[in-house]
Amino acid sequence: MKKAEHLLICLTEECAELQQAISKALRFGLDDGNPNGTTTNAQDIIRECLDVTALIELITDDEAIVESPSTEEAFKAIKEKKEKVKKYMDYAIKRGTLEREYVYDDSDSFADWEKG
């Protein structure tokens, strides 16, 4: 097995752990957590996001594996993704599958996220 393959497998594992943490939060709540653990589901999601980020950095730090985007390209891609998600949140509100008050209510955390 080559280094690239090994790191890509590690990335898939971390993505699966992130999926599991998100699934637990959606099933039982962000403020809940494993009764045998010391962290909340929200904290587990952040931890797994950081694990995924670490693997992405290991992969993009090695130009033999993948050519890393420039900082400008990375910020542009992130900005475009945020705009796309917001656009589809508006569409979901129009479709009635997303409740408007959870996006635009100033007292809600999603509203802070919406403001960027």
Site residues for Mg ion per CB under 5 A: 14, 17, 48, 51
CB of 97 to Mg ion, least distance (A): 30
Position closest to Mg ion via CB:
51
Q: Which is nearer to Mg ion, 45 or 89 (CB)?
A: 45
User: What is the DSSP code string of the chain?
Assistant: --HHHHHHHHHHHHHHHHHHHHHHHHHH-TT---TTSSS-HHHHHHHHHHHHHHHHHHHHH-TTT-PPPPHHHHHHHHHHHHHHHHHHHHHHHHHTSS-THHHH-TTSHHHHHHH-
Q: Which is nearer to Mg ion, 17 or 90 (CB)?
A: 17
CB of 41 to Mg ion, least distance (A): 14
CB of 14 to Mg ion, least distance (A): 5
Q: Which is nearer to Mg ion, 16 or 77 (CB)?
A: 16
